[in-house]
Amino acid sequence: MVSRTTDDYQFMARCGVVAVTEPAFWAGFDRSSSQSFYDYFRQLTEFEPKRAAKYGIQHYCWMCINAKEAENVQLSREVIQVIPEFLDRPSVLGIGEIGLNKNTRNEIIVFEEQVDLAARTGQLILIHTPHLQDKHKGTAIITSIIKNDPRIKPERVLIDHCEEHTIRMAKEAGFWAGLTIYHISKCTPQRGCDILERFGAEGIMVNSAADWGESTPSSMIDTCLEYRRRGHTEREAIEVFYNNPCRFFGQNPKWKLKPIDR
Ligand SMILES: [Zn+2]
């Protein structure tokens, strides 16, 4: 949302969106110092919740240094130092989106240090998996690092940007699997529904990647409409698009919405 306009909040409210969770992510350019991240974290935790609340939307967020900027290990360590003071803020759900971009050694070092931070502080974890040709290898590295840390319960981890060839790695280990709808480089609504039908909805969460690129905050809603168009019941749609997110995020008591049982 830091790269979206207020019109998008109004649009989402009209679409029926009641809450957003915003990962700390790459802003489209590399930031020059940890102070930039400090200010970014303040924007995520102080300004965005107020802007969203004007349209009846709850705004939550995640704290981290993203995989792309994690290539700079020294900068990353400075950012990791400032994260703990934000973790107790009322809208912060956990650590994320951490992960890998090009599967480099530096990215892995910073990923492991942020996993350690999450384990030490008992945070939920949101994971970014790499794009295209790096995705399968990156997802394998990420899942094996987390599985080897006995402090972390798999159901407290969401492996995001899953595709047909990586979703099993997430689900079979007991992690949550995220389907990111972003029509240019990730899933379309149709492909997202194909994956839901093929792998079952349990433990899967669908999300809109609306950022500074060509994208729309309605992509989760568009996927829900496509899902209904295919004949799935309202009850099934609520399970996937509302209850599943409530179940994962609700493991942090700061999350206020409860699954709907009807
Ligand atoms: Zn991501």
* Burial class of residue 33 (count of CB atoms within 10 Å of its CB; 0-12, 13-18, 19+): exposed
Q: What is the pLDDT of residue 23?
A: 98
Asked if 20 and 1 count as a contact pair (C-beta separation under 8 A), the reply is: yes
Residue 147 alpha carbon to ligand 1 centre in Å:
20
CATH of the domain at 45: 3.20.20.140
Report the separation in Å between the CA atom of 125 and the middle of ligand 1, taken as the mean of its atom positions. Answer: 13
Per-residue pLDDT of the chain (262 residues; tens, 9 = 90+): 999 999 999 999 999 999 999 999 999 999 999 999 999 999 999 999 999 999 999 999 999 999 999 999 999 999 999 999 999 999 999 999 999 999 999 999 999 999 999 999 999 999 999 988 899 999 999 999 999 999 999 999 999 999 999 999 999 999 999 999 998 877 999 999 999 999 999 999 999 988 999 999 999 999 999 999 999 999 999 999 999 999 999 999 999 999 998 6
Residue 118 within a domain: yes
CB atoms within 10 A of CB 197: 12
In a domain, 255, yes or no: no
Contacts by residues 131-138 (CB-CB < 8 Å, ≥ 24 positions apart)? 131/101, 131/161, 131/185, 132/185, 134/100, 134/101, 134/102, 134/103, 135/161, 135/163, 135/165, 135/166, 136/165, 136/166, 137/103, 138/99, 138/100, 138/101, 138/103
What pLDDT was estimated at residue 262?
A: 67
pTM recorded for the entire structure: 0.97
Q: Which residues line ion ligand 1, judged by CB < 5 Å?
A: 97, 128
Assign residue 16 a region: left if phi > 0, alpha if psi is -120 to 50, beta otherwise? Answer: left
How close is the Cα of 226 to the center of ligand 1, in Å?
Answer: 23
Query: Is residue 260, in this structure, part of any structural domain at all?
Result: no
Q: How many domains does the chain have?
A: 1
Span from the CA of 234 to the centroid of ligand 1 (angstroms): 29
Distance CA 175, CA 13 (A): 30
Task: State the residue range of the domain holding 111.
Answer: 6-249
How far apart CA 88 and CA 77 sit, in angstroms, is: 20
* Dist. CA 227 → ligand 1 center (Å): 23
d(CA 94, CA 46): 16
262, part of any domain:
no
106, part of any domain = yes
Q: Cα(97) to centroid of ligand 1, in Å?
A: 6
Residue 141 domain-assigned (yes or no) = yes
- 152 domain-assigned: yes
Q: Which of 153, 232, 220 has its CA nearest to residue 192?
A: 220
- 160 CA distance to ligand 1 middle (Å): 7
Q: Ligand 1 center to residue 261 CA distance, Å?
A: 31
